[in-house]
Structure 1
């Protein structure tokens, strides 16, 4: 029996599964079951700010698919400017590609966070501006020739009603994230032979 495709997912507390009522209801677990893959959760609460050490770790690990979800924590705990996060995202993607030059890679930009959307952080950047920086860096990398890269904009994936504490989604929000990410992956032309099914 062939091994299931290995899916590495790097991100923050939302990837880790915070606020889901049970571990199996976190979005990555839901999507992994739906796609019939070996999902590897590399979510780190309070982190995932584009640290190059994390990119190097991803580059060194075996993977058939990679998903990167970061940017939210660049608004608060360790503030970034939009320019800094743009360059950080470019560097992160470049570092991952040193180990995975042809692996399908999906970048998901930050989901909405009501207290940060229009509020400048300590360095003057709103979350909306930081989200735009992640997306611009991903699109510029695509235009640079990385045709196995995809972007899923996070702003429209959840509404404030899906956030149990203003930051983390509850079970309904996790289910919506699972559906959106899995749908993006199964719709990617490079993944058609990897996945056997999508979410209903």
Structure 2
């Protein structure tokens, strides 16, 4: 019979979270701080920032069996299929070696027209990983990237403690649902995690589905978050929400970068323009679900002629970001630009098309992450000194 040692989940065990909220049951990781969460009324962003993309438990232990008790909150769309259980990935000494899920939990049902939702409460469950070696080892449990996870307790057959800080550089990234993980099946298969794993860096992923919108509170969060490397992927959500025009876009990007630079004046900072997305290359948003498609598929419904009046397309955004970064870089030698089509372009789309016309699948995520690691961590983010942490300047 296994003799369990129960350990509460403590904030010090978590990496990839900006803030950890204590709840009646345990702890809830957040990717935006409480002050920022008070500055937006959008329930969609509230759900996205609480999803555990890039968040992981990092432990040191000799345990051969580890069980995590948690309460998941899953999202389903009215009339759609029931939600899949989120995936928890187990990584031992840097090698992914297990996966599991927790059935049940809370279910949020969303109506798109009109936009509303209701929650059906559920019960906590547990995911168990067994057959581990009895040697001292680093154990990571990566949380599901598509659901909210309230962490309650760890049970193991040996003591567990927070893993030590190995002094890796911290990469802070912000982007859209593609950065959050979109259609990737597992949390270690989303492109930022693939890139971070290949580069040997610690990831803080501020990828928010539908909400990479140049929000000032996101820029201030990035300003205040310790990081050695920073990237921002800008564009796709601004077109598919049809949020602003070119007149507002350019100063908003400047303001976003200015705010980050207040806390990180010399940190390598990369601006990434959108990946290829044919439905929005030359057609403005908004984007809606295609009612004529048998499977979920998006389409852009704006008028391409409106680009003359400042409506945004991905082509317009790429051109403007390239121009803007080139001008700023004349006075900011640590600012860099990457055309997103170098990560996913026309030939990639021919081979690995976007299943819903908007989001890459697991294979495309892997390719994007590998290319980012080669192009960026082998280029502007290449290690050049012995610093392990860049603390924001007051």
Query: TM-score with structure 1 length normalisation?
Result: 0.88
Could you tell me which runs of 5 or more consecutive residues in structure 1 were left unpaired when the two chains were aligned: 196-200
Task: Looking at secondary structure, tell me which structure has more strand per residue.
Answer: 2
Q: 2:368 aligns with which of 154, 162, 177?
A: 177
Match of 1:137 in 2: 324
Q: Measured at CA, do residues 8 and 189 of structure 1 come closer, stay the same or move farther in structure 2, by a change above 3 Å? A: closer
Matched, 1:7 2:171: yes
Match of 1:198 in 2: none
Shift of 1:84: 2.2
- Within a 5 Å distance, the mapping from 1:67-82 to structure 2 comes to 67-82=231-246
Match of 2:39 in 1: none
Match of 1:148 in 2: 334
Could you tell me which runs of 5 or more consecutive residues in structure 2 were left unpaired when the two chains were aligned: 1-164, 286-301, 303-309, 387-394
Match of 1:108 in 2: 272
Higher relative contact order (CA 8 A, sep 6+): 1
Query: TM-score with structure 2 length normalisation?
Result: 0.47
Task: Looking at secondary structure, tell me which structure has more helix per residue.
Answer: 1
Moved more, 97-106 or 82-91: 82-91
Shift of 1:189: 5.4
Mapped to 1, the partners of 2:170 and 2:177 lie a distance apart of 21
Q: 2:377 aligns with which of 173, 186, 193?
A: 186
Q: What RMSD, in angstroms, separates the aligned Cα atoms of the two structures?
A: 2.0
Match of 2:312 in 1: 125
Mapped to 1, the partners of 2:311 and 2:256 lie a distance apart of 23
Q: 1:43 aligns with which of 207, 216, 221?
A: 207
Moved more, 83-92 or 10-19: 83-92
Q: Is this contact kept in 2: 1:105–1:150, CA < 8 A? A: yes
Shift of 1:24: 0.8
Mapped to 2, the partners of 1:63 and 1:44 lie a distance apart of 19
Mapped to 1, the partners of 2:385 and 2:370 lie a distance apart of 17
Q: Measured at CA, do residues 177 and 194 of structure 1 come closer, stay the same or move farther in structure 2, by a change above 3 Å? A: farther
Mapped to 2, the partners of 1:25 and 1:2 lie a distance apart of 23
